[in-house]
Amino acid sequence: MAYRVLMCSVRRKYSSVSKLPDCSFTPNKYSGPSFKDTDQIKSNHIAPAVYNIYKKPILLHQGHMQWLYDANGQRFLDLFGGIVTVSVGHCHPKVVSALNEQSNLLWHTTNIYRHPKIYEYVEKLTSKMPGDLKVVYLVNSGSEANDLACLLAKAYTGNHEIISLQGSYHGYSSSLMGLTASQCYRMPIPVPAGFLHAYLPDPLRGIFGGCRDSLSQVPGSCKCPEDCVSSDKYIELLDDLLQNSIPTGKVAAFFAESIQGVNGAVQFPKGYLKKAQALIKKNGGIYVADEVQTGFGRTGDHFWGFEGHGVIPDIVTMAKGIGNGFPLAAVVTTKEIADAHMRATYFNTFGGNPLASAVGKAVLEVLEEEKLQENSKHMGEYFVQQLKQLQSAHSFIGDVRGKGLMLGIEFVVPGTKTPLPVADVSQIHELIKDMGILIGRGGKRNNVLRIKPPMCICKEDVDFTIHVLDKAIKMYSRTK
């Protein structure tokens, strides 16, 4: 498909460096199966639903902070962090040391016994939580955390219906396919009843537009000094759902990410979440904040993404960055809500095991000691400023959005809001990889680049990224 490329006449002002930033780390020599062998093993033994993100896949074997190395020794700047999971850096020495030390003492005992690390960890974790959010369940994944949050919400409220937002991703299990509202992650099979999806208040594609808490706004959007005027209109749609689609008018919970992750860093109009929480409470429900991707300082201004919306949830779920890649997740709630769980016996075989607790505690310490929340804020602001300059030079970029180191770049057909076709975005994505950067993809039409790197990246990394993005888009545009 051919497009008429519309280029702005503004003079380019963004910074760039053409060389991969220096790194003194030397990776080990690779000695595993050949690339050809992995092709055969994947074909024969790995589920076909597990796909390769690139047309020409890479075989990674070692990581160091923001860097990944393939089997040939080529170094890549990791801007996706294992799907927003590597928070403090690949193989961070303090986290590795904590894991090694604990592995020589005690690998595993379930939490029906006591071991010191779980107590040290939950005390430190709850010190980061506002209000009455002081009771912790330690589990193993974000899906497991959200599944438990659904159970707690129903047990506490006595209600059954749960609402999430269109475009949301809250996990992949037979039950959570009802909570997740992204078509491509839902198998065409029946899911449990009681899940509804509210209209997504998206400033770019929503029917009422809106302005968001970001240095970058949708072109032509409103510029409300406080809550966005569009938030009330989107809340009316949520109220319509409550009044028309829930038999009793009473709801168990409203689930929302602070910034939608898998859907391409979609932010809501200012004030929406606060008003949604009030409306849900009025209708008998509680608010569950899914901080699986936005937690642990990633959004920069606050430790938790929900704090940027001026709300305190009733339940918070967290995973991914909590363990810097180690299988660990948590549900944090109030004592009152946790007490409703006492009607049945509960245990978790691996949740809060000694290894996971040691890693989780070390991650929190590194976040504090290396001021990574502050780094997310400053690098994120610089990133957005540079991306906005890039947007002014390339009409294929329809939107730049996000906060801290949770950013999105949406590609469109020039002069429209029509998503750039997947094949075209894939071409750009492949070029970026070939020039030394690994970056994520997302959005309903898979036309958004997701920037969620380890939070230790520096200015030189941002400058190199801008150079690569600029070059990749130019190379792509020459083919149109």
How, if at all, do strands 162-165 and 195-198 pair?
parallel
10 Å CB burial of residue 55 (0-12, 13-18, 19+) is: exposed
Is 210 in contact with 222 (CB distance < 8 Å)?
yes
Q: What is the Cα–Cα distance from 446 to 426, expressed in whole angstroms?
A: 9
- Which pLDDT does position 4 carry in this prediction? 39
Within a 10 A sphere around the Cβ of 16, how many other Cβ atoms? 18
CA distance 151 to 341: 8
Look over the chain and give the mean of its residue pLDDT values, rounded to a whole number: 95
Instruction: For residue 420, give every residue at least 6 positions away whose Cβ sits within 8 Å of its Cβ, in sequence order, or none.
Output: 396, 411, 412, 413, 447
- Residue 429 CB: number of other CB atoms within 10 A? 24
What's the confidence (pLDDT) of residue 51? Answer: 86
- Cα–Cα distance for residue pair 379/77, rounded to 1 Å: 15
Q: Which CATH class is domain 95-369?
A: alpha beta
pLDDT at residue 262, rounded to an integer? 97
Distance CA 25, CA 97 (A): 18
Q: pLDDT tens digits, residue range 142-158?
A: 999 999 999 999 999 99
CATH superfamily, with its number, for domain 35-78+392-477: Aspartate Aminotransferase, domain 1 (3.90.1150.10)
Ranges for all domains in the chain classified under CATH 3.90.1150.10: 35-78+392-477
Classified as helix, coil or strand, 287 is: strand
- Residue 101 has φ and ψ, to the nearest 5°, of -60, -45
Region(s) of the chain under CATH 3.40.640.10: 95-369
Give the Cα separation of 290 and 280 in Å (integer): 16
- Residue-wise over 386-423: b if at least 16 C-beta within 10 A, else e? bbbbbbbbbbbbbbbbbbbbbbbbbbbbbeeeebbbee
Token code pair at residue 32: 């595993």
Spell out the per-residue pLDDT of the chain, length 480, in tens.
455 333 333 334 555 577 899 999 999 999 999 999 999 999 999 999 998 899 999 999 999 999 999 999 999 999 999 999 999 999 999 999 999 999 999 999 988 889 999 999 999 999 999 999 999 999 999 999 999 999 999 999 999 999 999 999 999 999 899 999 998 999 898 888 999 999 999 999 999 999 999 999 999 999 999 999 999 999 999 999 999 999 888 999 999 999 999 999 999 999 999 999 999 999 999 999 999 999 999 999 999 999 999 999 999 999 999 999 999 999 999 999 999 999 999 999 999 999 999 999 999 999 999 999 999 999 999 999 999 999 999 999 999 999 999 999 999 999 999 999 999 999 999 999 999 999 999 999 999 999 999 999 999 999 999 999 999 999 999 997
pLDDT of residue 175: 87
Q: What are phi and psi of 49, to 5 degrees?
A: -70, -20
